[in-house]
Structure 1
Amino acid sequence: MDDSEKLKQGLGGALLAARERSGLTQTEVASRAGLAAAVYGRIERGQQLPSVPTLFRLCAILSVSSEVLLGLDAAERAALSTAAMPEESPELRRLARLARTLSPAALRTLTAIAAAVGR
């Protein structure tokens, strides 16, 4: 089974569990998500992946996080974050966190300073 099939099966199983926990039927979830019942059924059976906007709606309807539906536990999320940006130092990550809190004017100033230092 390839990664895509594993993702479909895992997502489908998580959707089934979340739906049963919420006490909703497939038809009710499909209707609230703006899907045909047959399409939602294929997603829940692991035969089809939802679009990102549909996944977002399903998370809201079933009161479950995307991490749970996608089968990402804390260790997997940490591994993905580290693998995605292995070259980032702690200082760079700290600077990025701080930059996200700045006003647009302060961010422009910081960008100008960084450009000048980089020359």
Structure 2
Amino acid sequence: MRRCQLTKPSDHEVEDYRRRLGDAILSARKRRRLTQKSAADAAGVTRQFFGLLERGGINVSLETLLRICSVLETTPALLFREVEQNGRSASEFEGTQEPSVGD
């Protein structure tokens, strides 16, 4: 049995993924026709936090992401699907490889 080999994501990869997650949150908020303030208030975060999140400038905890998804009437899975569809896969970043999984 081969072991799965994962590489640590680069700072660039993390920043890019965070930005794309922010874009997906922004799109979901706009589809619901919510302001940052109303979405933030309903999710229990500040408008400033919500703005940073939409710009990809901050990490988000799972608990907060779940609250935001509830407000936006979506799921983390749908947000991450949008992130993946709108971005590059990990193998497209220089120096990274898709993990190999053995039997």
Measured against the shorter chain, the TM-score band is 0.5 to 0.7
TM normalised by structure 2 equals 0.67
Q: State the aligned residue count.
A: 80
Q: Which runs of 5+ in 1 are unaligned?
A: 77-82, 89-119
Higher helix proportion: 1
Q: Which runs of 5+ in 2 are unaligned?
A: 1-10, 90-98
Contact 1:31 1:37 in 2 (8 A): yes
Aligned residue in 2 for 1:107 = none
- Give the secondary structure class of the aligned counterpart of 2:50: helix
Looking at structure 1, the residues matched to 12 and 79 of structure 2 have their Cα atoms a distance apart, in angstroms, of 18
Shift of 1:35: 0.4
Matched, 1:2 2:21: no
Residue type of the alignment partner of 2:30: E
Aligned residue in 1 for 2:46 = 36
TM normalised by structure 1 equals 0.58
Q: Which of the pair has the greater relative contact order for Cα pairs under 8 Å at 6+ separation?
A: 2
Same amino acid, percent of matched pairs: 32
Looking at structure 2, the residues matched to 72 and 55 of structure 1 have their Cα atoms a distance apart, in angstroms, of 17
